[in-house]
């Protein structure tokens, strides 16, 4: 199994797909990387030689923030928003959707499972 920037990439997949297993690299970026390094997009990742793996690793690290570096960058951006007290920072702090989605219904991914609150007793039930 070829290892690239601390990530095992699947050997049986095409190179442009296998590169997407690295955090921060999507399909479009993977295609640009293949073109820039001169490697065939269709070749399987198990066919890569050590030199080609080294070429890929150095190109990716120089050009794109990936893996741990990208995760730290995103976390520091969120912490900055929290510290300055911006609206987006408050939404992050409270665990609510950040980008303007509705929360009256839906938003279960951010809010977590429902916490049922007991409702008011109806007038009919009190008679």
Neighbours of 111 (CB within 10 A): 14
pLDDT band at 126 (very low <50, low <70, confident <90, very high): low
| Each residue's pLDDT tens digit, 75-105 | 999 999 999 999 999 999 999 999 999 998 8
Section 38-57 average pLDDT: 91
Model confidence, pTM: 0.76
Query: Across residues 3-19, what is the average pLDDT?
Result: 90
Q: What is the pLDDT of residue 118?
A: 84
Beta-carbon contacts of residue 58 (< 8 Å; ≥ 6 apart) = none
Q: Which two tokens stand for residue 3?
A: 């290892």
Sketch out the chain's domains with CATH numbers: 3-63 (1.10.8.50), 72-127 (4.10.910.10)
29 pLDDT band, cuts 50/70/90, is: very high
Asked whether the beta carbons of 9 and 45 are under 8 A apart, the reply is yes
The per-residue pLDDT for 77 is 95
Q: Do the Cβ atoms of 46 and 12 come closer than 8 Å?
A: yes
pLDDT-derived band at 24 (thresholds 50, 70, 90) equals very high
pLDDT at 50 > cutoff 70: yes
Strand spans (E) along the chain: 3-4, 7-8
pLDDT at residue 93 in the model: 94
């Amino acid at each position: 199994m070829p290892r690239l920037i601390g990530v095992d990439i699947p050997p049986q997949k095409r190179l442009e797909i296998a590169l997407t297993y690295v955090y921060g690299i999507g399909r479009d970026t993977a295609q640009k990387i293949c073109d820039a390094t001169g490697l065939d997009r269709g070749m399987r990742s198990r066919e890569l030689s050590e030199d080609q793996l080294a070429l890929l690793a150095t190109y990716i690290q120089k050009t794109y923030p990936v893996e741990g570096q990208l995760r730290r960058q995103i976390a520091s951006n969120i912490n900055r928003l929290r510290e300055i007290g911006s609206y987006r920072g408050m939404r992050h702090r409270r665990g609510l959707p950040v980008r303007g989605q509705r929360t009256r219904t839906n938003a279960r991914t951010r809010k977590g499972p429902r916490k049922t609150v007991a409702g008011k007793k109806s007038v009919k039930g009190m008679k």
